[in-house]
């Protein structure tokens, strides 16, 4: 018995610890402190703790991703917003959406938004990364420089239904031994009609693999799903790192401030953090010997910078926050993709609408997933994707320069869904549906994250400025019209009955624009609120190595650094 107890104590001592109480953290020096466990934070927690000489602390404001079993089940991704693993916050009133305030989904759990998103996996156009390399003056951000890394991340697996994927994905450009499991979607009743349309309408060409650097066309969805389960950043990167004794993970705890711990010449050193579990609870602090790394996302990272005295001095002074580093671009330049779900009535004996209406069917499908991880619950909401451009002669280009990164980069996206989906209308209790999401990929609108108060437990003002420019509303209007043309192809003649609800009433350009404004939302993609610029540039927030300008010991590794939105 004594040997058994000693063995248990030894095993406990050599595994990473997950803490729910900040007071229980060991009083030891940390080499790195990471704020946020989304894709940036989880990857770095894994990579940095691989060095046994470094000790890493990861702080996550939300709970463990084990608290919500729906996270693992792809089909139940739509149940995660709102939920106990989402921030459940809203935007300020959006002028481009008719003055509506809309929900703003972001993950608040281990894995961040990779634990609540719809799991679509895509690399985007090569020209996006090449533009990023050009703007920052750092070739390390180019497509060619990052292509090997993107392959090493992946582990391409067969789809849950095991069908032959020849012609649906090109294995030669994907990895087979990486931490993130990916696959294509199971076959559905929509597949043949979607791809028959690509042979019937020239404006919608087929694309075998959209991760090649040229995403244009209609192709199969690639998803971060392996063995029928979500492959989140937490599952892919944190779980393997739990075998290391030099990694501590603290959950249910908000980092309230990054703390200056000294100076190097004229530059402030930020190697400390303060954190708490409530506005009225005790405040804790820890220091890093090398770096504090912010990976809190495009909303919370700029908020935390401003609360720490790093930002626009004019705004900070409004909340009596002393400016330590004047970086006016903190919280500015916010970008996001506007999403319009478009529903169509269909002539079908079965769509995924039936699963939501039939309790017995739902329970049977859930039981199948729980037993062998197959069946409808292995599917995400998106069936296939389309990446498309406006015609070269579009009238909008007479007054607006093309904002895309090049001729192989899309302006908008289709996401095909085998059920009714709307963020503005209630789900019908009868009928069967398909939906085509139209998604604005290259917005020219720019929003912001600003402080609502100096209390870190108060949500900031979130203003993505959706559909707030002439280009954006023009493009989303044309995307909706393209979706209508798509389902008018002969492949849909005996299937699509017609547009449903408000879409059916939108005939003119003005009516379609009004429809888009009344039904628009976002699609989990805020970025650019702590943007990257060339080293030595007076504008921007981080240098190309992601170190915060005019500071020592502080780095940002999340989508807030992107100069222009990458898809």
What phi and psi values does residue 384 have, to the nearest 5 degrees? Answer: -130, 170
Q: Write the Ramachandran bin of 337: left for phi over 0, alpha for psi from -120 to 50, otherwise beta.
A: beta
Residue 400 assigned as binding residue: no
How many Å apart are CA 221 and CA 119, to the nearest integer?
A: 10
Q: How far apart are the first and last CA of the chain?
A: 56
Q: How many CB atoms lie within 10 A of CB 394?
A: 16
Token readout for 96 is 């481009």
* Residue pair 387/210 in contact by the 8 Å Cβ criterion: yes
* Residue pair 58/247 in contact by the 8 Å Cβ criterion: yes
Strand segments, DSSP code E, in 22-177 are 30-35, 56-59, 89-90, 103-104, 154-156
* Residue pair 213/126 in contact by the 8 Å Cβ criterion: yes
* Residue pair 142/169 in contact by the 8 Å Cβ criterion: no
* Residue pair 108/459 in contact by the 8 Å Cβ criterion: no
Alpha carbons within 13 angstroms on the beta-carbon side of residue 43 total 14
With tokens 């990916």, the residue in question is 182
* Closest listed residue to residue 498, CA positions, set 339, 343, 385: 343
- CA distances for 481 relative to 183, 318, 340, 509, 516, angstroms: 31, 45, 12, 9, 11
Residue 107, helix vs strand vs coil: strand
Residue 386, helix vs strand vs coil: strand
* Closest listed residue to residue 488, CA positions, set 63, 252, 233, 203: 203
Q: How many CB atoms lie within 10 A of CB 546?
A: 18
H helices of 406-461, in order, are none
- Residue 335's Cβ-count burial label (10 Å; 0-12, 13-18, 19+) is buried
Q: Residue 415: which H helix or E strand, with range?
A: strand 412-417
* Closest listed residue to residue 80, CA positions, set 120, 59, 108, 39: 108
Q: Which residues contact 504 (CB under 8 A, 6 or more apart)?
A: 498
Residues at the binding site for FAD are 255
Residues at the binding site are 255
């Amino acid at each position: 018995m004594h040997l058994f107890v000693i063995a248990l104590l030894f095993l406990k001592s050599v595994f990473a610890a997950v803490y729910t109480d900040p007071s229980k953290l060991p009083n030891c020096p940390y080499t790195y402190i990471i704020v946020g466990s989304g894709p940036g934070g989880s990857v770095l927690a894994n990579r940095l703790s691989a060095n046994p000489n470094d000790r890493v602390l990861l702080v996550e404001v939300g709970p463990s991703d084990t608290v919500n079993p729906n996270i693992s089940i792809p089909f139940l991704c739509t149940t995660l917003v709102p939920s106990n693993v989402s921030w459940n916050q809203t935007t300020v009133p959006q002028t481009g959406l008719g003055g509506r305030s809309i929900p703003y989904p972001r993950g608040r759990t281990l894995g961040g938004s990779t634990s609540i998103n719809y799991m679509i996996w895509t690399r985007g156009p090569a020209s996006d990364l090449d533009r990023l390399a050009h703007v920052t003056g750092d070739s390390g951000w180019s497509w060619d420089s990052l292509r090997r890394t993107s392959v090493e991340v992946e582990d391409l697996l067969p789809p849950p239904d095991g069908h032959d994927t020849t012609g649906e994905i090109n294995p030669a450009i994907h990895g087979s031994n990486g931490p993130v499991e990916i696959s294509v979607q199971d076959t559905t009743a929509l597949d043949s009609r979607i791809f028959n349309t690509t042979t019937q309408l020239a404006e919608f060409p087929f694309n075998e693999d959209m991760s090649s650097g040229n995403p244009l066309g209609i192709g199969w969805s690639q998803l971060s799903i392996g063995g029928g389960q979500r492959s989140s950043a937490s599952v892919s990167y944190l779980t393997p790192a739990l075998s290391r004794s030099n990694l501590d993970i603290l959950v249910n705890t908000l980092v309230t401030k990054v703390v200056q711990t000294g100076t190097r010449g004229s530059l402030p050193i930020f190697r400390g953090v303060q954190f708490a579990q409530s506005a009225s609870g005790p405040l804790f602090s820890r220091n890093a010997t090398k770096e504090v790394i912010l990976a809190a996302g495009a909303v919370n990272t700029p908020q935390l910078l401003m609360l720490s005295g790093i930002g626009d001095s004019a705004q900070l002074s409004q909340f009596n926050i002393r400016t330590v580093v004047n970086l006016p671009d903190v919280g500015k330049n916010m970008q996001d993709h506007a999403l319009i779900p478009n529903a169509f009535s269909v002539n079908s004996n079965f769509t995924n609408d039936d699963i939501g209406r039939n309790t017995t069917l739902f329970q049977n499908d859930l039981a199948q997933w729980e037993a062998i991880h197959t069946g409808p619950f292995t599917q995400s909401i998106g069936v296939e994707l389309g990446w498309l451009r406006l015609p070269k002669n579009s009238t909008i280009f007479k007054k607006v320069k093309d904002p895309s990164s090049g001729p192989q980069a899309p302006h908008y996206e289709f996401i095909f869904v085998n059920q009714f989906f709307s963020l503005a209308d209630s789900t019908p209790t009868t009928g069967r549906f398909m939906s085509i999401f139209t998604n604005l990929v290259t917005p020219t609108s720019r929003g912001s994250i600003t402080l609502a108060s100096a209390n870190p437990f108060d949500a900031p003002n979130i203003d993505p400025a959706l559909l707030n420019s002439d280009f954006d509303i023009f493009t989303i209007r044309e995307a909706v019209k393209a979706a209508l043309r798509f389902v008018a192809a002969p492949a849909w003649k005996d299937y699509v009955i017609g547009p449903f609800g408000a879409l059916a009433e939108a005939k003119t350009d003005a009516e379609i624009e009004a429809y888009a404004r009344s039904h628009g939302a976002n699609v989990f993609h805020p970025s650019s609120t702590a943007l990257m610029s060339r080293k030595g540039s007076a504008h921007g927030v981080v240098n190309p190595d992601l170190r915060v300008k005019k500071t020592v010991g502080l780095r940002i590794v999340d989508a807030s650094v992107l100069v222009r939105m990458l898809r």
